[in-house]
Amino acid sequence: MDDVDNAAGKANKEKGERPKTKTKAVWLITTNHGESLFGCPECYLVEYSNTDLIEKHLLKSHNINTKICDICGEGFKYKSYLDRHKIGHNPEMPFVCSKCGKAFKRKSNLNKHLAIHSGEKTHICQECGKAFIHKGKLNQHLVIHSGEKTHICQECGKAFYQKSNLNQHLAIHSGEKTHICQECGKAFIHKGKLNRHLVIHSGEKPHICQECGKAFNYKCNLNQHLRTKHSSTN
């Protein structure tokens, strides 16, 4: 940072100049070697070589949504949310979730979807007490209590309660990676693996150690932490 033209940077801040970049909020300075660096307009840090990095900084440090809809101007945290939102501008998909931007043809489908964000589990299994957000998931679960595994893999003979589980299993044999991360392009065989991967981009650490307060992306990392750091306290 010794080579940064601080005078130019200061002038940019004072004049309020903003270059036309993918992220309109950033400001730009040039080093003595001709290198362009992007700065944060909130805290005036100048340490980013491209707009992707400054976007991540704006989201993580200042909670500023940088994925902007060019139709209505609404901002979103992730590109996947923006892509979903844009579908809502299609007159055939008028019902849009205000939480994540996903669009639906019918209001009833939107209402079902909203239960995901509320987390309320109103459908209870009478056999074991397990609760579900959607009735369809409860119906799938009830097959477990019947004991019947009617969906058989023709490749290896493994049996499953539900066809969806068989379909997931078949991907192992085909090796096809159909679940793709919209942030970085990495592909996965199973959707569950993609969901685990997305935590990396969101930066969320929902699993918190009750002993010391340290937070983790994944529960398995928290469990390992508990075994190695707090096993003597249990």
The CATH number of whichever domain residue 100 belongs to comes to: 3.30.160
CATH number for the domain that contains residue 170: 3.30.160.60
- Whether residue 106 is found in the same domain as residue 127: no
| 224 pLDDT higher than 70 | yes
Residue 216 CB neighbour total at 10 angstroms: 17
Task: Check: CB of residue 162 under 8 Å from CB of residue 140.
Answer: yes
Q: Determine, yes or no, domain membership for 168.
A: yes
Inter-CA distances, 207 with 196, 198, 225, Å: 13, 15, 11
Structure confidence by residue, pLDDT tens digits, 92-143: 777 888 778 778 888 888 888 888 888 788 889 988 988 888 888 888 888 8
Looking only at the bridges linking them, the beta strands covering 36-39 and 46-48 are antiparallel
Q: Determine, yes or no, domain membership for 140.
A: yes
Domain count, the chain: 4
Give the separation between CA 198 and CA 178, rounded to whole angstroms. Answer: 15
> Where is pLDDT greater, at 16 or 129?
129
Range of the domain at 92: 67-118
Determine if the pTM surpasses 0.75. no
Give the separation between CA 187 and CA 190, rounded to whole angstroms. Answer: 9
- Whether residue 58 is found in the same domain as residue 93: no
Mean pLDDT, to the nearest integer, of 156-161?
A: 86
- Whether residue 132 is found in the same domain as residue 175: yes
Position 167 scores a pLDDT of 83
- Whether residue 233 is found in the same domain as residue 215: yes
Residue 135 CB neighbour total at 10 angstroms: 11
Q: Determine, yes or no, domain membership for 101.
A: yes
Position 232 scores a pLDDT of 67
> Where is pLDDT greater, at 94 or 24?
94
- Whether residue 58 is found in the same domain as residue 82: no
% pLDDT > 70, the chain = 74
Position 102 scores a pLDDT of 79
| 145 pLDDT higher than 70 | yes
Q: Determine, yes or no, domain membership for 1.
A: no
Position 17 scores a pLDDT of 40
- The confidence band for 31, taking pLDDT boundaries of 50, 70 and 90, is low
Burial (CB count within 10 angstroms: exposed 0-12, middle 13-18, buried 19+), residue 63: exposed
Position 47 scores a pLDDT of 63
Q: Determine, yes or no, domain membership for 44.
A: yes
- Whether residue 36 is found in the same domain as residue 96: no
- Whether residue 146 is found in the same domain as residue 192: yes
- Whether residue 58 is found in the same domain as residue 75: no
- Whether residue 145 is found in the same domain as residue 176: yes
- Whether residue 53 is found in the same domain as residue 71: no
Q: Determine, yes or no, domain membership for 234.
A: yes
Q: Determine, yes or no, domain membership for 106.
A: yes
- Whether residue 187 is found in the same domain as residue 128: yes
- Whether residue 32 is found in the same domain as residue 45: yes
